[in-house]
Chains A and B, each alone.
Chain A
């Protein structure tokens, strides 16, 4: 943690330090609509958690609660022992720097070149000099295989390329954990592979990842734990071999019987 982060969030709960993220009794309502009904889970450093479930089950809402894009109604979320819900505005910004997020619709900045998309946040936040950030951007572009596009604009890229840039943009902040919100759902089938391959590579590098997806193959191959959600609750959590071959919950069984694996 940087000094700035410590200043923004001085209170560290020792009990919550045994894992990177600890969520307890998380509730979220939109008006009368009760979306999350008490989520309890933990994520350890280096774990790859894949969240699956029917649409409307609260997977995305849960993910978006983790970096406070949605403010939970009640409950607590600890990141490295710090209660995120007690952070002030500044503290929330620092916290988000260490949580990268990749969106279903990419959300690249259309008015900036690819390189500026990647360097904007590190430079404006004073984490890197322009020069350093450009070097880092070039490294990342090399890694995602799009170095030749560095001076292009997002509108000139395909969906798969956009998503790979979005991943590079999140990685430029050197996050501790990456959140993926259905990263392949808006892509042409042809382009799903390139994004999943990049995510696999990321997983192999040891990145802590939480992924909401409908790609069962990815869950099987990459996940260290699969989480099944329905109706705002986690119904089952297990390593993928066990989860897919021997599901315990009836709802999980029904779900798995209906999806093509």
Chain B
């Protein structure tokens, strides 16, 4: 027992090592939050372009660009994208902007998945809804904004939340470009103390708690949105 407490002390208390985890957690949260916002924004724009093209045949060229984006991003590993972003595209950038590069990479990656989620949500809305909007004199854009998107958003909310959870866990590869995120923080402790069990388990537990909280929040939101369509 005292052995266990010694290990605990050595891992977290000696040299204030817990700060590695705290700082790492901070970075992980910043990257996840900003990348999620960027990804959802990007995803909605791409989904709009793609579904407008599918429904009306317009925006041909924009649609081609979107398809290339989706194919490339979904066809290559996240880590490789991160490395290319940091060591090729932003090679000349000062390393203190690392976090911006990480946010950009994760956001652009997540956007591709969000785009397909949202698009499937839009395409799943009955065509009659588009027609009803049009028959009232609403333009395509207004119909989309006031009639289709609110319904589509509700339908894809669980999938969207899932994507954010995946994103949160995915940011653990940020260490590849030297970002001190939560995983990297635990890893630094492991390297310093030659103890793997404590720091890595702590890291896993922190991820797990965050995911559980996120899942609970989404459940709450879903129930609130579901209020108006008891069937």
A residues whose Cβ falls under 8 Å from a Cβ of B = 67, 69, 89-90, 93-97, 99-101, 103, 105, 107-111, 113, 120-121, 124-125, 153, 155-156, 169-170, 173
| Interface window among B73-81, B131-139, B191-199 | B131-139
State whether B137 touches A121 (Cβ < 8 A): yes
B151 within 8 A of A: yes
B147 within 8 A of A: yes
State whether A120 touches B146 (Cβ < 8 A): yes
Query: Given the interface contacts A110-B151, A111-B151, A120-B146, does A96 sit within 8 Å of B228 by beta carbon?
Result: no
Q: Which of A89, A103, A155, A156 makes the CB contact (< 8 A) with B132?
A: A103
Residue of A nearest to B154 (CB): A111
Main secondary structure of the interface of B (DSSP, over half): helix
Shortest 4 CB-CB distances between A and B: which pairs?
A: A97-B137, A107-B132, A121-B136, A101-B135
Residue of B nearest to A108 (CB): B132
State whether B132 touches A109 (Cβ < 8 A): yes
In the bound assembly, the distance between CA atoms of A89 and B140 in angstroms comes to: 9
Query: Given the interface contacts A124-B142, A125-B137, does A111 sit within 8 Å of B132 by beta carbon?
Result: no
State whether B151 touches A170 (Cβ < 8 A): no
Residue of A nearest to B128 (CB): A107
In the bound assembly, the distance between CA atoms of A96 and B126 in angstroms comes to: 20
State whether B134 touches A109 (Cβ < 8 A): no
State whether B146 touches A124 (Cβ < 8 A): yes
* Chain B residues with a Cβ closer than 8 Å to the other chain, count: 22
Residue of A nearest to B230 (CB): A155
In the bound assembly, the distance between CA atoms of A256 and B78 in angstroms comes to: 68
Q: With both chains docked as a complex, state the minimum distance between the C-beta of B69 and any C-beta of chain A, in angstroms.
A: 27
Interface string of B143-161 (1 = CB under 8 A from A): 0001100110010000000
B229 within 8 A of A: yes
In the bound assembly, the distance between CA atoms of A45 and B72 in angstroms comes to: 58
Can you name 7 extra interface pairs (CB under 8 A) apart from A69-B134, A155-B230? A69-B131, A93-B138, A95-B137, A101-B135, A107-B129, A155-B229, A170-B136
Q: With both chains docked as a complex, state the minimum distance between the C-beta of A144 and any C-beta of chain B, in angstroms.
A: 17
In the bound assembly, the distance between CA atoms of A170 and B136 in angstroms comes to: 7
Q: With both chains docked as a complex, state the minimum distance between the C-beta of B89 and any C-beta of chain A, in angstroms.
A: 39
Q: Which of A96, A101, A108, A111 has the most CB of B within 10 A?
A: A111
Interface string of B201-231 (1 = CB under 8 A from A): 0000000000000000000000000001111
Q: Which of A96, A109, A113, A155 makes the CB contact (< 8 A) with B147?
A: A109
Query: Given the interface contacts A111-B154, A120-B146, A155-B230, does A103 sit within 8 Å of B136 by beta carbon?
Result: no
In the bound assembly, the distance between CA atoms of A91 and B220 in angstroms comes to: 44
Q: With both chains docked as a complex, state the minimum distance between the C-beta of A99 and any C-beta of chain B, in angstroms.
A: 8
State whether A173 touches B137 (Cβ < 8 A): yes
Query: Given the interface contacts A69-B131, A103-B131, A155-B230, does A111 sit within 8 Å of B150 by beta carbon?
Result: yes
Q: With both chains docked as a complex, state the minimum distance between the C-beta of A119 and any C-beta of chain B, in angstroms.
A: 11
A-B contact list, 5 entries, CB within 8 Å: A90-B139, A93-B138, A111-B151, A120-B147, A153-B229
State whether A93 touches B129 (Cβ < 8 A): no
State whether B128 touches A125 (Cβ < 8 A): no
In the bound assembly, the distance between CA atoms of A138 and B172 in angstroms comes to: 56
Q: With both chains docked as a complex, state the minimum distance between the C-beta of A42 and any C-beta of chain B, in angstroms.
A: 22
Q: Which of A103, A105, A113, A121 makes the CB contact (< 8 A) with B138?
A: A121
Q: Which of B129, B131, B139, B228 makes the CB contact (< 8 A) with A89?
A: B139
Residues from chain B with a CB closer than 8 A to the CB of A124 are 138, 142, 146
Q: Which of B126, B128, B136, B230 makes the CB contact (< 8 A) with A156?
A: B230
In the bound assembly, the distance between CA atoms of A76 and B136 in angstroms comes to: 22
Residue of B nearest to A152 (CB): B228
Residue of B nearest to A127 (CB): B137
Q: With both chains docked as a complex, state the minimum distance between the C-beta of A200 and any C-beta of chain B, in angstroms.
A: 22
Residues from chain A with a CB closer than 8 A to the CB of B128 are 103, 105, 107
Query: Given the interface contacts A107-B129, A111-B154, A124-B142, does A100 sit within 8 Å of B230 by beta carbon?
Result: no
